[in-house]
Amino acid sequence: MYILSIESSCDETAVAVLRGEESGVALLSDVVASQADVHALYGGVVPEIASRAHTEVISRITYEALEKAGVSLARIGAVAVTDHPGLIGALLVGVNFGKALAFANRIPLVGVDHIKGHIAAAYLTESAPKPPFLAFVVSGGHTALYHVKSYTEHHLIGTTRDDAMGEAFDKVGRLFGLSYPAGAAFDRLSTEGFMKAVGKAFDPNENGESQSVREAYRAFAKSDAARLYKLPSPALLGDHYDFSFSGLKTAAVNLLHNAEQSGKALDNALFAAAYTYTAVEGAITKLSLALDAYPSLPLVLGGGVAANSHLRGAVRALCERKKTPLHILPRSLCGDNGAMIGAAGYYEFLAGNLLRLDCNASASDSL
């Protein structure tokens, strides 16, 4: 069967066409229209502008996705759409477009949880994982650890209690003058900082040995930069898997402001490296606990921040040490896209989880 999927929960309008069969899901086309440039002018996503921008492109990119896939609307067996969580106005554009498409063409409609979508992106990769597994989803809005019990059953075992890792990267990066979304530029600046501090980095090209990743990590912990820019860990104390990124973010903001007020120039690259080191180290602390508690399960790393080279390197090194099979999503499937919604939607469809046409969208984590 063919699935047409729609994602509009934040600042990317995305539509994909997939083929679902017994052996799994295959991607036929994925069209993503990013609004990042528009929001960069304001330093973050402006919800009303996001909704309007989705409305402007959603119809065009739907037909583009169908054309690229070489599949007509008449052959689509299910329409899958992100119905939560996200910006309500933005979600409503996708949900109402999906509803209209489903109603007018008599196609079943499936609602998809955006986070389940980030996890389901893994089903589109080579040697795709099969549940059960653990999934760490790190994005602009979420930092959450799931026990994925089946294709449709996800048990949340840990989460951030305030800001998400990506949101904190974006906010702190903005203070360096990095434009929204700051994550990728922050990543590069941190690599520059690691090189400057210890002459090695977290293997940004992913070609190196994880031994060298560990060496860079250890060397940085002992460096002057780590001492000078000491920041609080986002890993909350205790035998659980919860994070807090707001303390780390506030400490970083204060450090930057104090440096500015005292007229002491701060080294942006070294500071970025110290921030990234602390954020990644916090994530690894909790992941390590979770891998110990679920020793037989593979790990999936996904979400926009999973594109971060330092996080990828450190998670790879951790999983090698623990002998945990690891599935890191390719960067093309980390950020928001329509393909991941189609992959999750296929399994929701198989489980009979269909939406009625009087359904609604929801901004929060559960409907």
Can you give the binding site for Zn ion, defined by CB under 5 A? 139, 336
- Which H or E run contains 126? none
Q: Is 111 in the site for ligand KG4 (CB under 6 A)?
A: no
Q: Is 204 in the site for ligand KG4 (CB under 6 A)?
A: no
Instruction: Please measure the distance between the N-terminal and C-terminal CA atoms of the chain and give it in whole angstroms.
Output: 27
Q: Is 281 in the site for ligand KG4 (CB under 6 A)?
A: no
Residue 135: φ, ψ to 5°: -130, 130
Type of residue numbered 122: A
Of 47-55, 207-215, 224-232, 303-311, which segment contacts ligand KG4 by CB under 6 A? 303-311
210 binds, among Zn ion, ligand KG4, none (CB under 5 to 8 A by kind): none
Select the residue interacting with ligand KG4 from 85, 117, 183, 204 (CB under 6 A). 183
- Which H or E run contains 115? helix 114-120
Q: Is 313 in the site for ligand KG4 (CB under 6 A)?
A: no
Structural contact between residues 64 and 94, judged by C-beta atoms closer than 8 angstroms: no
Q: Is 170 in the site for ligand KG4 (CB under 6 A)?
A: yes
From residue 20, how far is each of 3, 24, 73, 77, 358 by CA, in Å? 7, 6, 16, 10, 26
CB of 141 to ligand KG4, least distance (A): 4
Contacts of 237 (CB under 8 A, 6+ apart): none
Q: Is 291 in the site for ligand KG4 (CB under 6 A)?
A: no
CB of 276 to ligand KG4, least distance (A): 8
Residue 265: φ, ψ to 5°: -65, 135
Select the residue interacting with ligand KG4 from 2, 123, 169, 243 (CB under 6 A). 169
Q: Is 335 in the site for ligand KG4 (CB under 6 A)?
A: yes
305 binds, among Zn ion, ligand KG4, none (CB under 5 to 8 A by kind): ligand KG4
Scored b (16 or more CB within 10 A) or e, 284-314 reads: bbbbbbbbeebeebbbbbbbbbbbbbbbbbb
Nearer to Zn ion, 113 or 281 (CB): 113
Nearer to ligand KG4, 114 or 147 (CB): 114
182 binds, among Zn ion, ligand KG4, none (CB under 5 to 8 A by kind): ligand KG4
Q: Is 191 in the site for ligand KG4 (CB under 6 A)?
A: no
269 binds, among ligand KG4, Zn ion, none (CB under 5 to 8 A by kind): none
Cβ neighbours, 10 Å, residue 207? 7
CB of 114 to Zn ion, least distance (A): 6
DSSP 27-66: EEEEEEEE-HHHHHTTTS--HHHHHHHHHHHHHHHHHHHH
Nearer to ligand KG4, 166 or 298 (CB): 166
Select the residue interacting with ligand KG4 from 111, 158, 303, 313 (CB under 6 A). 303
What length does the chain have? 367
Q: Is 139 in the site for ligand KG4 (CB under 6 A)?
A: yes
Structural contact between residues 91 and 363, judged by C-beta atoms closer than 8 angstroms: yes
Structural contact between residues 18 and 339, judged by C-beta atoms closer than 8 angstroms: yes
From residue 112, how far is each of 83, 175, 331, 338, 354 by CA, in Å? 6, 35, 21, 11, 10
Select the residue interacting with ligand KG4 from 187, 242, 281, 348 (CB under 6 A). 187
Binding site for ligand KG4 (CB under 6 A): 10, 139-141, 166-167, 169-170, 181-184, 186-187, 303-305, 307-308, 335-336
